[in-house]
Amino acid sequence: MGILIQHGTVVNADSTVQVDVLIEGEKIAAVGADLPADGHTLVDATGLLVMPGGIDVHTHLDMPFGGTTSADDYLTGTRAAAIGGTTAVIDFALQSRGHTLAEALATWDAKAVGNACVDYSLHMAITDLGPNFETLDEMQAMLDRGVSTFKLFMAYPNVLMIDDGLMFRVFQRAAKLNALCLIHAENGSAIDVVVAQTLAAGHTAPVWHALSRSTRAEAEATHRAIALADMAGATVYIVHLSNEDSLRELKHAQERGVRALAETCTQYLVLSLEEQMPDESFEAAKYVFTPPLREKKNQARLWEALADGALCVVSTDHCPFRFGDQKSLGKDDFTKIPNGGPGIENRMQLMWHFGVNAGLISPERFVALTAAEPARVFGMDSKGAIAVGKDADILLWDPKADYTISSATQAMATDYSMFEGWQVKGNVARVFSRGELIVDAGRFIGEPGRGKFLKRRANAGELF
């Protein structure tokens, strides 16, 4: 006996049709018109959209940063994800300098096990190749364990940044292994000079974090990362692309046939430097993340790129810190504000309201950006579509539901929302994860720890 979802409208990345969906066990067993009831548990989805559960490919749960740790651990973070309609996340394991990738994987796995409420996977952030480039040889071992993507930082010198030569070596090895490389593209060396000069001039307020990290610094690194990946024959994915300057570099490369992909994040689509950081008040620390908020004029270009395909994924870069006792570490010095914002719970609502309702993207494109492309790009063959044989990660979405976003009612562990008081139309009605109803009436009803580690396939060569 299964679960039969009746009378709903199934939206996939390539179609919208009125069909029923049968779940058997953890999988989708049938999709078709008027499927027989046959003693199945019936779910009436009249007036609802039936879509693949969201996949957020860029989160930082339980992550150490600047002497503190991101406020959501795997339990609260993935529970908030589920409530917001996201049924899989890819988080980042971070290699500590002088340590192996295997150690990083063990550390992050321990954070997730027993806590994850939805399925999860990991990217591996490489920060140290070792004196004899031993780390390169460890990349294959990561693929064997289902960690098929590698992240490199061009920002944060002396902490996370690796130089061009080392980055090029990783690209060469990734090309051989068919693995995708993710790049944080900002010119960290130049930014650090500007930051030092900014502080020396007496500018310490949060807005100066944004003002010291220019779009040119991001565009330069975007260009350089793509050029080096191209030289090495690797496929590259730029994370959190935030502005028009960087987008121009990406598009030029794509027009020449270079194998470059990119995501943007919800915050760059709906928040801006002018609106959220209008002055030197410390309130603006709520919006200190990297890359920073950009001028509002960039938003329209990003939406266009989501519609035309230059950008293929929307993630959150969810990296939450409480305002009261964590962001406040930087009260007198913006460089000490932990970088990141809470977003994992609101991605689907914001993309629907400001994307679909506003006519900027279609419902099918919404599914592509939030689920189908994340599954395809990141080698998760069992996810990302309402189709026979896929995991029954299913979102019942009410396009008419009104919802007010607020820290008072959110599941995320922060004491503020970046979207406080915003009213959106379109919200989660129910969420199934591998066939199990885990969210109903806005509440998570699954068991913490039920989320499984998702092994992903190296597939960079198939992406173009």
Q: How far is it, in rounded angstroms, from Cα 445 to Cα 404? A: 22
* Residue position matching structure tokens 């979102």: 395
Comparing every residue's Cβ against Zn ion, the nearest one is 317
Q: Least distance from C-beta 201 to Zn ion, angstroms?
A: 29
With beta carbons less than 8 A apart as the criterion, state whether 80 and 109 touch: no
Written as six digits, the tokens of 150 are 């590698």
With beta carbons less than 8 A apart as the criterion, state whether 23 and 435 touch: yes
Window of 1-9, 15-23, 221-229, 317-325 that interacts with Zn ion by CB under 5 A: 317-325
Gyration radius of the chain over CA positions = 21
Q: Least distance from C-beta 341 to Zn ion, angstroms?
A: 11
Which residue number, 83 or 125, has a Cβ lying nearer to Zn ion?
A: 125
Which residue number, 91 or 249, has a Cβ lying nearer to Zn ion?
A: 91
Window of 48-56, 139-147, 154-162, 316-324 that interacts with Zn ion by CB under 5 A: 316-324
Q: Least distance from C-beta 255 to Zn ion, angstroms?
A: 27
Residue type, 371: A
Q: How far is it, in rounded angstroms, from Cα 73 to Cα 442? A: 20
What is the enclosing helix (H) or strand (E) of 428? strand 423-433
- What pairing do the DSSP bridges indicate for beta strands 180-184 and 149-153? parallel
Q: How far is it, in rounded angstroms, from Cα 361 to Cα 254? A: 21
Window of 70-78, 139-147, 315-323, 424-432 that interacts with Zn ion by CB under 5 A: 315-323
Window of 108-116, 226-234, 253-261, 311-319 that interacts with Zn ion by CB under 5 A: 311-319
Window of 122-130, 209-217, 312-320, 398-406 that interacts with Zn ion by CB under 5 A: 312-320
Q: How far is it, in rounded angstroms, from Cα 239 to Cα 242? A: 9
Window of 123-131, 253-261, 313-321, 343-351 that interacts with Zn ion by CB under 5 A: 313-321
Which residue number, 23 or 313, has a Cβ lying nearer to Zn ion?
A: 313
Number of residues interacting with Zn ion: please give it, by CB under 5 A. 1
Q: How far is it, in rounded angstroms, from Cα 87 to Cα 432? A: 8
Which residue number, 317 or 415, has a Cβ lying nearer to Zn ion?
A: 317
What is the enclosing helix (H) or strand (E) of 199? helix 188-200
Residue 256 burial by Cβ neighbours in a 10 Å radius (0-12, 13-18, 19+): exposed
Among 20, 245, 317, 415, binds Zn ion (CB under 5 A): 317
Which residue number, 58 or 286, has a Cβ lying nearer to Zn ion?
A: 58
Q: Least distance from C-beta 68 to Zn ion, angstroms?
A: 16
Q: Least distance from C-beta 317 to Zn ion, angstroms?
A: 4
Q: What angle (nearest 5°) sits at the alpha carbon of residue 77, between those of residues 428 and 390? A: 55
Which residue number, 23 or 319, has a Cβ lying nearer to Zn ion?
A: 319
Which residue number, 66 or 449, has a Cβ lying nearer to Zn ion?
A: 66
Length of the chain measured in residues: 464
The CA-atom distances, in angstroms, between 224 and each of 187, 246, 294, 310 are: 9, 11, 21, 18
Which residue number, 220 or 317, has a Cβ lying nearer to Zn ion?
A: 317
Q: Least distance from C-beta 264 to Zn ion, angstroms?
A: 12
Window of 73-81, 166-174, 314-322, 421-429 that interacts with Zn ion by CB under 5 A: 314-322
User: Is 73 near Zn ion (CB under 5 A)?
Assistant: no
User: Is 186 near Zn ion (CB under 5 A)?
Assistant: no
Q: Least distance from C-beta 443 to Zn ion, angstroms?
A: 28
* Residue position matching structure tokens 């002088």: 98
User: Is 62 near Zn ion (CB under 5 A)?
Assistant: no
Please name which of 339, 407, 386 lies closest in space to residue 8, comparing C-alpha atoms: 386
Q: Least distance from C-beta 291 to Zn ion, angstroms?
A: 10
Q: How far is it, in rounded angstroms, from Cα 18 to Cα 5? A: 11
Q: Least distance from C-beta 154 to Zn ion, angstroms?
A: 13
Written as six digits, the tokens of 103 are 């150690």
Which residue number, 185 or 460, has a Cβ lying nearer to Zn ion?
A: 185
Written as six digits, the tokens of 220 are 């330069």
Q: Least distance from C-beta 159 to Zn ion, angstroms?
A: 14
**Positions in the binding site for Zn ion (CB under 5 A):** 317
